[in-house]
Chain A
Amino acid sequence: MPPATDPRPAPTASLGEPSDGLDRYARPQPSELVERMLAGDRRALARLLTLVENQTAEGEEALRLLPRRGAGERGHVIGFTGSPGAGKSTLVGKVIDGFRARGEKVGVLAIDPSSPFSHGALLGDRIRMLGREQDQAVYIRSLSSRGHPGGVAAATAGMARLLEAFGMGRILVETVGAGQSELAIMGLAQTVVLVFNPGAGDEIQGLKAGIMEIGDLLVVNKADLPGAREAAGFLKAALRVGPPPQPGSWEVPVLLVSAATGEGIDLLIQGLEEHRRYLEASGEGGRRRRLQAENELANLIRERLARQVLDRARREGEWDRLIEALSSGDLDPHTAADRLLGA
């Protein structure tokens, strides 16, 4: 069953009328948008990003139309995550500059939390990355962490593919926190950078298992502040706990940077490039891509099947009946699920 088409309202004015009516949705075909995007049209890219973000039928068609890329031609997706206040957005801004200085094109997806109540969001990362608007080799897009059918990780994956197809060699994905959805988003990245505040000692103690394991590079930001060196020391000690690294495997560096002054950024850029080379040379890149492909396909299937079952149940009123029965204790969830799934 196809997903909903673009949910935005139909045009209220036809082309040629004065712009008093909003003619936002005169809709070029996905194929036309993709063609224009591949030719370098940034507006086409912008509209495709929206279609893919909202997981519309047009968005899915557009993704299907993207040219296939071999392993060597793919963009390098780098994830940045960490606690709020660690200065990730400012850091990402400096990383953009660092790659630009090397002549590379950079795409950025900045993910901000949205309200669970209103579903609205203040997308505040971009304000830390200002000043690069006139650079045609940089493209920055904000998105909120909720309100995406199929989850934000799926939306992000599709949007990253578009940026890659547009020609961005590096795609920086920034998110905050270390919850399930952040981990899922970081799962899309080939390289993950964890960003810490100085004074991160307590933070590190409290880190859930798994978050440290996903970091390929650990960065202590705000190196000019007291506590930065200590935090770096904590992180190095924490890395030493656990099984010793296999020979030839990646050694996770702990880097001290100051996004404000630019100190340490060069080493970070170098580290990112080294990790990318390591992934290809060691076969680890291939292994992660296979894992990502598995996750993506499994999620897609789960999402589609769930949508089919739920849509039908809601349409036929079965959903309401089951919920009523569940709430009043007449039915248990497993039996309800059996009925829905026709088991």
Chain B
Amino acid sequence: MLVAKVGLDGHDRGAKVVARALRDAGFEAIYTGLHRTPEEIVEIALQEDVQVIGVSILSGAHMTLLPRIASLLRERGMERQVLLVAGGIIPDEDVEALQREGVAAVFGPGAATRQIVEFLRERLGMTDSRPAPAPPVRPSAKTAGGERPLAPSH
């Protein structure tokens, strides 16, 4: 799963919390770091063959950036394979418009990580809530992350 931070917004603690929660839930999460462009995010999503892109936006630019990502996914023929979800500061009144643009779900600041994980599991067709002992279906939600590595640095 890709956890992405797009644009100028410089706050990534929430994104990192989500990325860690995804890891603890048995997913493979890739954090993209801060200030990625929509083009970069979609290219990373392609190379890593992710199933989910989770975009974290706190800057208010969601109505430009999210549709741009959705449109790039369509351009590259990826929109049927990649679930696009968003989190951060996104007003309720914009959610419907975003969903029309192809964002499957929007998680506001109060959303519990468990809620996000359950939503993703359900949409990805993983009904068993325990971590799989067999190799995980590769739900590579890429999580774009900020400056600090989420994983121990090498």
Most buried by B among A20, A84, A142: A142
* Size bracket, chain B contacts: 35 or more
Cα–Cα distance between A26 and B77 once the two chains are bound (Å): 12
Most buried by B among A50, A134, A139: A50
Residues of B within 8 A of A (CB): 19-20, 22-33, 36, 39-40, 43-44, 46-49, 51, 76-83, 102, 104, 123-126, 131-138, 140, 143, 145, 149-154
Residues of chain A within 8 A of B132, CB atoms compared: 119
Chain B residue at minimal CB-CB distance from A8: B137
Residues of chain B within 8 A of A199, CB atoms compared: none
Chain A residue at minimal CB-CB distance from B80: A23
Number of interface residues of A (CB under 8 A): 59
- Contacting residue for B30 out of A49, A50, A142, A147, CB 8 A: A142
Q: List 28 A-B contacts (CB under 8 A).
A: A7-B137, A9-B125, A19-B80, A22-B51, A22-B83, A22-B124, A24-B51, A43-B78, A53-B138, A84-B154, A113-B151, A118-B23, A118-B25, A119-B135, A120-B22, A120-B27, A120-B29, A120-B131, A121-B28, A122-B19, A122-B150, A122-B151, A123-B140, A123-B151, A126-B30, A127-B31, A130-B36, A134-B43
Q: A113-B151, A133-B40 are in contact. Are A123 and B29 (CB under 8 A)?
A: yes
Interface check A86, CB cutoff 8 A: yes
Cα–Cα distance between A28 and B48 once the two chains are bound (Å): 18
Q: A24-B51, A134-B43 are in contact. Are A123 and B30 (CB under 8 A)?
A: yes
Q: A85-B153, A120-B136, A133-B44 are in contact. Are A115 and B24 (CB under 8 A)?
A: yes
Cα–Cα distance between A133 and B104 once the two chains are bound (Å): 25
Quote the shortest CB–CB distance from B39 to chain A (angstroms). Answer: 7
Cα–Cα distance between A147 and B133 once the two chains are bound (Å): 8
Cα–Cα distance between A133 and B123 once the two chains are bound (Å): 28
Cα–Cα distance between A127 and B22 once the two chains are bound (Å): 17
User: Quick check: A122 and B20 within 8 Å, CB to CB?
Assistant: yes
Cα–Cα distance between A259 and B153 once the two chains are bound (Å): 14
Give 9 new A-B contacts, CB below 8 A, not counting A46-B49, A121-B29, A148-B135: A43-B46, A87-B153, A112-B154, A113-B151, A117-B131, A120-B136, A122-B150, A125-B154, A133-B43
Cα–Cα distance between A153 and B27 once the two chains are bound (Å): 20
Interchain pairs with CB closer than 8 A, number: 158
Residues of chain B within 8 A of A24, CB atoms compared: 51, 80-82
Residues of chain A within 8 A of B150, CB atoms compared: 122, 124
Q: Which of A26-68 contact B (CB under 8 A)?
A: 26, 42-43, 46-47, 49-50, 53-55
Quote the shortest CB–CB distance from A59 to chain B (angstroms). Answer: 12
Cα–Cα distance between A97 and B139 once the two chains are bound (Å): 30
Residues of chain A within 8 A of B22, CB atoms compared: 120
User: Quick check: B77 and A124 within 8 Å, CB to CB?
Assistant: no
Quote the shortest CB–CB distance from B154 to chain A (angstroms). Answer: 4
Residues of chain B within 8 A of A85, CB atoms compared: 152-154
Chain B residue at minimal CB-CB distance from A43: B46
Cα–Cα distance between A256 and B22 once the two chains are bound (Å): 38
User: Quick check: B24 and A46 within 8 Å, CB to CB?
Assistant: no
Quote the shortest CB–CB distance from A135 to chain B (angstroms). Answer: 9
Chain B residue at minimal CB-CB distance from A85: B153
Chain B residue at minimal CB-CB distance from A117: B131
Q: A8-B138, A122-B29 are in contact. Are A142 and B80 (CB under 8 A)?
A: no
Interface check A76, CB cutoff 8 A: no
User: Quick check: B49 and A47 within 8 Å, CB to CB?
Assistant: yes
Q: A19-B80, A88-B154 are in contact. Are A130 and B40 (CB under 8 A)?
A: yes
Residues of chain B within 8 A of A120, CB atoms compared: 22-29, 131, 136
User: Quick check: B47 and A7 within 8 Å, CB to CB?
Assistant: no
Cα–Cα distance between A53 and B49 once the two chains are bound (Å): 11
Cα–Cα distance between A47 and B47 once the two chains are bound (Å): 9
Q: A24-B80, A43-B77, A112-B151 are in contact. Are A54 and B31 (CB under 8 A)?
A: no
Residues of chain A within 8 A of B28, CB atoms compared: 114, 120-121, 123, 142, 144
Chain A residue at minimal CB-CB distance from B36: A130
Residues of chain A within 8 A of B76, CB atoms compared: 43
Q: A7-B137, A22-B83, A148-B135 are in contact. Are A134 and B40 (CB under 8 A)?
A: yes
Cα–Cα distance between A23 and B80 once the two chains are bound (Å): 5
Interface check A236, CB cutoff 8 A: no
Most buried by A among B39, B48, B123, B126: B48
User: Quick check: B153 and A141 within 8 Å, CB to CB?
Assistant: no
Interface check A261, CB cutoff 8 A: no
User: Quick check: A142 and B134 within 8 Å, CB to CB?
Assistant: no
Quote the shortest CB–CB distance from B6 to chain A (angstroms). Answer: 13
